[in-house]
Structure 1
Amino acid sequence: MASVLFAPGWRAEQRRAFLLGLSPSLAVLLVITLVPAAALLVASFTPLSLTDPAATFRFDDPLANYRQLLHDNRFLGSMAVQFKLSASSVALQLLAGLGLALLLNGKSRVLEGARTLFLVPMVLPPIVVALIWKIMYTPDVSPVHRVLEHLGWPVRSLIANPETALWAISLADTWQWFPFTMLMVLASLQMIPDEPLEAARLEGANRWQLFRYIVFPYIRPVLVVCGLFRLIDSFKAFPLIYVLTNGGPGNVTEVTNYYGFIQAFNFSYWGYASAIATVMLVGVFVLSWLVGKLGWSDHEQR
């Protein structure tokens, strides 16, 4: 750092200005991100509990929490639930966003109004979205259930059925966040040059061939980025689960972050909950890196 700051020449001055300009942002990032992450990591090595505050700085067996995780069937089950929820919600959001982007890709006031309407769920607070879907899934007050009963098709509450509760949460999460994918893909579609499409049409290519060989390769990097963002955010579906199912019925919708919440705030096992959060953090980084690496390397080969 010192050699960069005091090296002679215009380029050194440019680098010094760049580093000095970044220093306030780096300081804020250090305070609000790195310091809490370091505290979380340190706490995961201790048996910290509100019932035993003296254990805050006890490191006699730093890996005890992580060994316990390997034998905690409820934690392992929560990871399986998290995988199902992330896979289903991300896949549905990508498909719904891509499909609607293709439908809304055009220049007209009607399409512009439809785009604005579809963006509404994304700007709502997560707790508001959870309350909306709580009403939709409650048979006594749900207009959907009332209509189905009037038609002679009564349906049980989806969030009270162990076979459908997780899919109900995935549907609510998809409804809120598919506009993100739609917006990103729509912007990418509108930047595709007309020349390749016109040349392919002159050669007799149909709509499927245009999409497969021209449109999809062009928007594929955008889909990878959308998938990464939504994959990371899928690990934060806490408000939906807290409001809709509270982790139930049983443990069928108890994802890993909700299980960590229970350990920390219901049982006061903060050290153990910190270990759960640390494993989640590492898992998200590794999974995101793998998805991004596979997606971008395949794109470069193409």
Structure 2
Amino acid sequence: MKGKTNWRSQQRNAWLAGLMPSIILLVVITLLPAMALIITSLTPLSLTNPQETFNFSDPLINYRQLLEDPRFLNSIITQIKLSLVSVLFQVIIGLGLALLLNGTSAWLHTARTLFLIPMVLPPIIVALIWKIIYTPDISPLHQVLELWGITLNSLIANPATALWAIAVADIWQWFPFTMLMVLAALQMIPRDPLEAASLDGASARNIFRYIVLPYIKPVLVVCALFRLIDSFKAFPLIYILTDGGPGTVTEVTNYYGFIQAFNFSYWGYGSAIAVVILVGVFVLSYIIGKAGWSDERKASA
């Protein structure tokens, strides 16, 4: 019995020793910067006033100012609009294409490879591609529309369309992520339930609703969570395409934090904005994840 206990102790120590480098790396590159961000958000630090670096006399001043800042509140609304639209269509388009491309033929394999191209391009390259598309003087899209007698103004210069133009570019870049994940899930579905349902005369719609969808629902939840988190980082698209404009129409929360920290040098205020974004992402991820997994547990109970 004593030898068994010693063996378990040695196994645990070996496991901890193997895990320790990863833990140290995680602390260095993630937890320490996060702690520095939170600490900075509790000070009125700015590059024009560096002596306020460790001034904690009023630690919540930045957060109180955020609640009274209409530009910040508007950036939250803009961020929510962009995130909801882009994530929703990325999941829908990715799911639809995955269902269409789920097969083993050579041309389906080629089509899947071509659809993955936007996802592997660097974000700056994607932003430059869509900058060209949205610029009337050099845009192939505008030239084709002019041949058809259609005149289209710049979508990114129009306050009514600028945000949705960014959403289109974001959807184009990241719907392959959902498509790839769903394709992997579809190819892991057991064939027996599908064949049995088909022999029983079930329609394709009912097979998808009652057999396929329950199998791939956890994957869809994971895709939505990952894309929701990444949607808060649509910085390159906004920086290249609109610079937050026209006006503040496309100024999402992280871009507003960038302006405060690097344009105006309000590091404490910019850090507070980043902390709010971090908390918001955690809350939204928890709500979506809990809803998805609770439904899955009910279905399996």
**TM-score when scaled to structure 1?**
0.97
3-state SS of 1:10 partner? helix
Match of 1:60 in 2: 57
Match of 1:295 in 2: 292
d(CA) in 2 for partners of 1:299, 1:164: 38
Deviations 1:46-72 (A, max 9, x none): 000000010001111000000000100
Match of 2:172 in 1: 175
d(CA) in 2 for partners of 1:222, 1:12: 37
d(CA) in 2 for partners of 1:11, 1:95: 48
Deviation of 1:14 (Å): 1.4
Match of 1:248 in 2: 245
Q: What amino acid maps onto 1:188 in structure 2?
A: A
3-state SS of 2:53 partner? helix
1:36 lines up with 2:51 in the alignment = no
d(CA) in 2 for partners of 1:156, 1:210: 45
d(CA) in 1 for partners of 2:173, 2:14: 41
Match of 1:128 in 2: 125
Instruction: Give unmatched runs, 5+ long, in structure 2.
Output: none
Q: What amino acid maps onto 2:256 in structure 1?
A: Y
1:194 lines up with 2:191 in the alignment = yes
Match of 2:17 in 1: 20
Match of 2:98 in 1: 101
Match of 2:208 in 1: 211
Deviation of 1:203 (Å): 1.1
d(CA) in 2 for partners of 1:12, 1:161: 66
Question: Where in structure 2 are the equivalents of 1:220-239 lying within 5 Å?
Answer: 220-239=217-236
Count of residues in correspondence between the two structures:
296
Deviation of 1:9 (Å): 2.2
Greater than 3 Å deviation, 4+ residue runs: none
Match of 1:3 in 2: none
Instruction: Give unmatched runs, 5+ long, in structure 1.
Output: 1-6
Task: Quote the sequence identity (%).
Answer: 71
3-state SS of 1:160 partner? coil
**TM-score when scaled to structure 2?**
0.97
Give the alignment's Cα RMSD to 1 decimal: 0.9
Deviations 1:191-234 (A, max 9, x none): 11111011111111111111111111110000000000000000
d(CA) in 2 for partners of 1:169, 1:18: 46
d(CA) in 2 for partners of 1:12, 1:73: 57
1:279 lines up with 2:271 in the alignment = no
Match of 2:77 in 1: 80
3-state SS of 1:299 partner? helix
Match of 1:269 in 2: 266
Match of 2:116 in 1: 119
Deviations 1:25-81 (A, max 9, x none): 111111111111000000000000000010001111000000000100000000000
Deviation of 1:8 (Å): 4.3
